[in-house]
Amino acid sequence: MSVQAPHDDARTRATGRLESALRERRAAGRKLLVPYVTGGLGADWVDIVRALAAAGADGIEVGIPFSDPVMDGPVIQEASQRALAQGATPRSVLAGIASAEVDTPIAVMTYYNLIARAGDKRMAAELARAGVAAAILPDLPLEEARPWCAEADAAGVETVMLAAPTTPDERLARLAQRGRGFLYAVGLLGVTGERSQLAESALAIARRCKQVTDLPVLVGVGVSNASQARAICEVADGVVVGSALVRRILEGAGPDGAGEFIGELRQALDS
């Protein structure tokens, strides 16, 4: 297979809002906490976003629900299906984000078909208009990312790249080079969901990512509670917490309960 030219030129690389915020906080000695919520899940989801910001999130991931979420386990599948049944669309989620008016940078997490359907250029512009800082697209790997990244870069939207335990070192470096915002280290081989034990692979992938990049490295997938988050932050710059929060929301936690849970994680990382 032919080796592709690097996707970007480091000299022209602009640091976006999410990356700047994360770098700044890391420099201040803080461990980074990025919670995930499914956009459009329940009438109060925008209040939940505000509660997460108030509870000390350093960035917030908002999922735009997709009919076929192949990287997601049962909890986020259920959340996506419920949100879709409640009428969530990419546009309604973006409108919600715009109305949240939080200072915490927001990244949307979704599947590439929802972007491709609208068109790369149009969706990049819509994200920017809604005040979204970054996009996380788990089914858009490096080799296919170029057209989207060109439009996202132009619109000032940071594209977060994902690294997996199976990613070879040489490729890891290229992912980090193309990545914006932070490098998302997938903590285990598997889909999103809570795990009772911290996977050994979480520390291993965090270590490998830290070796190849200066970007903030956050571990996500399988990070389920405060003690796991602390253990990961011995190596990584921070964590993404999804299913553990979304499960609580599905169980009716509401903005208060969601904020409380993230507040606990915040405290654990700060102490």
Partner 1 sequence: MVAAPSPMGAPDASGRFGSFGGRFVPESLVPACMELETAFSEAWADAAFRARLASLLASYAGRPTPITECPRLSAELGVEVVLKREDLTHTGSHKINNVLGQALLAERMGKRRLIAETGAGQHGVATATAAAYFGMECAVFMGEVDVERQALNVFRMELLGATVYPVRSGSRTLKDAVNEALRDWVASVETTHYCIGSVMGPHPYPYLVRQLQRVVGDEAREQYRERSGGRDPDVIVACVGGGSNAAGTFAGFADTAARLVGVEAAGGSAVGHGVPGIVHGMRSLFLQDEEGQVLEAESISAGLDYPGIGPEHAHLAELGRATYEAVGDDEVLAAFQVLARTEGILPALEPAHALAWVIRAARDGTLAPGTKVLLTMSGRGDKDVAQVKEMLA
Nearest to 266 by CA among 48, 53, 18: 53
Please pick, from the candidates 15, 24, 68, 129, the single residue that binds partner 1 as defined by CB under 8 A. 68
Q: CA nearest 96: which of 52, 40, 55? A: 40
Nearest to 18 by CA among 184, 151, 133: 133
Residues of span 140-159 touching partner 1 by CB under 8 A: 140-144
68's tokens: 């076929």
24 binds partner 1 (CB under 8 A): no
Looking at the annotation, which residues are catalytic?
Answer: 61, 72
Of 51-59, 62-70, 226-234, 258-266, the window that binds partner 1 (rule: CB under 8 A) is 62-70
Residue 57: count other Cβ atoms within 10 Å of its Cβ.
25
Under rule CB under 8 A, residue 89 binds partner 1: yes
| Candidate list 22, 48, 132, 162; residue touching partner 1; CB under 8 A | 162
Looking at the chain, which runs of residues are DSSP E strands?
Answer: 32-38, 60-63, 106-109, 134-136, 158-163, 183-186, 217-220, 238-241
Total residues contacting partner 1 by CB under 8 A comes to 45
| Residue 117 in contact with partner 1, rule: CB under 8 A | yes
- The runs of H, that is alpha helices, within 28-69 are 45-54
Sign of the CA dihedral running 246, 247, 252, 258: negative
Give the shortest CB-151-to-partner 1 separation in angstroms: 15
CA distances from 234 to 24, 30, 95, 195 (A): 19, 12, 37, 19
Nearest-angstrom CA–CA distance, 237 and 244? 20
Q: How far is the CB of 114 from partner 1 (least distance, A)?
A: 4
Q: How far is 222 from 140, CA to CA, in rounded Å? A: 21
Q: Give least dist CB 215 to partner 1, A.
A: 15
Which range binds partner 1 by CB under 8 A, 39-47, 69-77, 151-159, 248-256? 69-77
Binding flag, residue 84, partner 1 (CB under 8 A): yes
In the shown chain, the binding pattern of residues 190 to 229 toward partner 1, with x for contact by CB under 8 A and - for none, equals: xx--------------------------------------
Rule CB under 8 A: is residue 256 a binding residue for partner 1?
A: no
Torsion angle of C-alpha atoms 92, 130, 17, 271, degrees rounded to 10: -40
Cβ proximity to partner 1, 20 vs 113, nearer residue: 113
In this chain, which of 34, 130, 186, 240 binds partner 1, going by CB under 8 A? Answer: 186
Stretch that binds partner 1, among 5-13, 37-45, 138-146, 212-220 (CB under 8 A): 138-146
Contact positions vs partner 1 (CB under 8 A): 1-2, 66-73, 77, 81, 84, 89-91, 112-118, 138-144, 161-168, 171, 175, 186, 188-191
